Amino acid sequence: MKRLLLTFVATLAFAAPLHARTVLESETKTYRATSLRTVNLDFTVGELHIDGTDGDNVVVKLRVHCKRNDDWCEDHARDLKLDARVRGDRLDIDVEGRSLFDHDDYWVEGRIQVPRRMRLEIDMPVGEVHVTAMENDVDLQLKVGEVNIDMPEKRVGRVHAGVAIGEATLDKSDGRVNIAGFLGRKVSWSNGEGTARVDVRIAVGEATLRLY
C-alpha cells in the first residue's frame, strides 16, 4: 500500500466557487498506467471530474473549497489522504478525509485525467460526478447526487442507468430517452456499435448520459 499525504500548495480565493472563501489546491500526483487496464476510484464526498486523455498516465489533483477562514481550511485540508495502490492490472485510488459528512463548510473537488482506453470504476456516497471522453467500460455507483457522462457513441455498445428516486436521461444521435419518478426508474440501450458498457446506479439523484 502506498499512502500519500497531500501537500496543499496554493490559496486561490479568487478562483473559489460561489460562497467559498478559500480554495486550496494539492500537488499533482502522477501514476504510470502503461500496463494497467482499470482505474478504481473510491471518493468520499464532493465533486469528481474525470477526463479521458490519449496519454499513459493517471493524473490526480485535489482542491478543497472552504467557507471558513484560511487556517480552518488548511487544518482540514492537511487531514485529507490519498491512498493509491496497484493490484494486478488495476489502480485503486482512495481519497479519505476527516468529518466530511459532518458539515457543509467545505467540500473536496477531484480532477483526474485517465487514459481513455482504460476501464473506469467509481464508488461515491454523496456528490457530483462528471466523466468526459472515456472510451471503455464505466461502472459508477452513487448513493445521492448527480452524474454526467459524455462519451463517443461509436465506442459504446450498451448503456444502463438506474435511479431509484430521481431522473435518468440518455441523449444520443437519434433522439433522447428521459424517465423521471420513484421506485426503480431506468434507461437501457443496447444497440451500439462499440464495445464499451456504461452502468450507472443511483439511489437518489439524477443521471445524464450523452453519446456524441
Domain-by-domain residue ranges, the chain? Answer: 1-126, 137-212
pLDDT in tens, 107-150: 889 999 999 999 999 999 999 999 999 999 999 999 999 999 99
pLDDT given at position 191: 85
**What per-residue confidence (pLDDT) applies to 68?**
75
What's the rounded Cα separation, in Å, for the pair 81 and 148? Answer: 26
Q: What is the DSSP string of the chain?
A: -EEEE--EEEE-GGG--TT-SEEEEEPPEEEE-TT--EEEEEE-EEEEEEEEESSSEEEEEEEEEESS-HHHHHHHHHT-EEEEEEETTEEEEEEE-TTTTS-SSEEEEEEEEEETTSEEEEEEEEEEEEEES--S-EEEEEEEEEEEEEE-GGGEEEEEEEEEEEEEEEEETTEEEEEEEEEEEEEEE---SS-EEEEEEEEEEEEEEEE-
> What's the whole-number average pLDDT of the chain?
85
Cβ pair 143, 203 in contact under 8 A: yes
CB 106 within 8 A of CB 123: no
Q: Which residues pair with 62 in a beta bridge?
A: 110
Residues of the chain under the 70 pLDDT cut: 1-20, 97-104, 178-184
Task: Measure Cα distances from 79 to 36, 100, 117 in Å.
Answer: 29, 11, 33
* Global pTM value: 0.87
Cell triple for 62: 485535489
Q: Please give the full DSSP string across 121-146, using - where no structure is assigned.
A: EEEEEEEEEEEES--S-EEEEEEEEE
